Amino acid sequence: MKTRIGIVGAGNVGATCAHISLMKNLGDIYLLDIAADMAKGKAIDLNQSKFLFGSDAAVDGGDDYSKLIDSDIIVITAGLARKPGMTRDDLLFKNFDIIKDVSLKIKQSKRTPIVIVVSNPLDIMAYTVYRITGFPRNRVLGMAGVLDTYRFYHNIQNRLNTPYKYMDSMILGSHGDTMVPLISQTKIAGKFIEKMLPAEEINALADRARNGGAEIVSLLKTGSAYYAPAASVVRMMESILTGRKGTLPCSVYTEGDYGYKDIFLGLPVQLGPNGLAKVVNIKLSEAEKKALDMSAASIAEQIAKIKDRI
């Protein structure tokens, strides 16, 4: 039986996620949107593209949650995108209501799907989904750290002309201004980056990754990034559906991990067929742990604003 992938939101991120999943033949896809005809139209277009990739997957589209909730994986991309000058936190209350409604509908599933949350502010929206659905911790994940790490890789590659396979790094914490690049763990072809570049230059590369989403928003003018976010979702799905190995930074519900509780926070994890397989312990520098504490505190502050609405 084919894997079933449901995607909530047929906008740029959702449709691109569907397209990459189709290329990789990960499973049949249902693309859901309140604009049902748009979702149907994109589904037809996607189906007509699959022959190039030799894919046997099928894409359907519409606004029928009964076709979505029995998916094996549900990706939530619904919500408002940032506009120039708008921070991720500005989206908090506007997107909370949208994600709460989606979560109540997904809760009706009899299969307890694995849910990957992409909507911003990411960590707070993942917490919302977790609390409202009541799904087990391992089956609600937030996509953020993979994207932020890819942005860091892009900056490193531009500076050092390094092939992707020789880069090793990770960004933890929130998907926002307090994200934490693990400089102490960043290696290029086995060499620590701190031995290759001066600290101020490394920090500049990390800061550009931290502000990578805002940089794209400022250039696009009428939208936000979608190619890299969609690719990052698919990377997570590959670990879940195909067993592709590797430690990934994902936002997960904390139960004492790294000293944090009752928040969603980007941590190094391994994924498997049941979603979260385990949180991986990585030695952080003193500065990195302090920065992660600040990131966790920032997320907890935002979660407190929506707790009485759940």
The Cα–Cα gap between 308 and 310 comes to 6
Residue 80 has pLDDT above 80, yes or no: yes
Topology of the domain comprising 4-142 = Rossmann fold (3.40.50)
CB 155 within 8 A of CB 209: yes
Q: Is CATH 3.40.50.300 the right assignment for the domain spanning 145-309?
A: no
Which pLDDT band, with edges at 50, 70 and 90, does 82 fall under? low
DSSP string, 43-60: HHHHHHHGGGTT----EE
For 158-197, the pLDDT digits (tens) are: 999 999 999 999 999 999 889 999 999 999 999 999 999 9
CATH 3.40.50.720 positions along the chain are 4-142
CATH 3.90.110.10 positions along the chain are 145-309
Beta-bridged to residue 62, according to DSSP, are 32
Asked about 154 being catalytic, the answer comes back as no
The Cα–Cα gap between 1 and 290 comes to 47
- pTM, two decimals, is 0.96
For 7-25, the pLDDT digits (tens) are: 999 999 999 999 999 999 9
The Cα–Cα gap between 189 and 119 comes to 34
**Out of 40, 82, 139, 175, which one is annotated catalytic?**
175
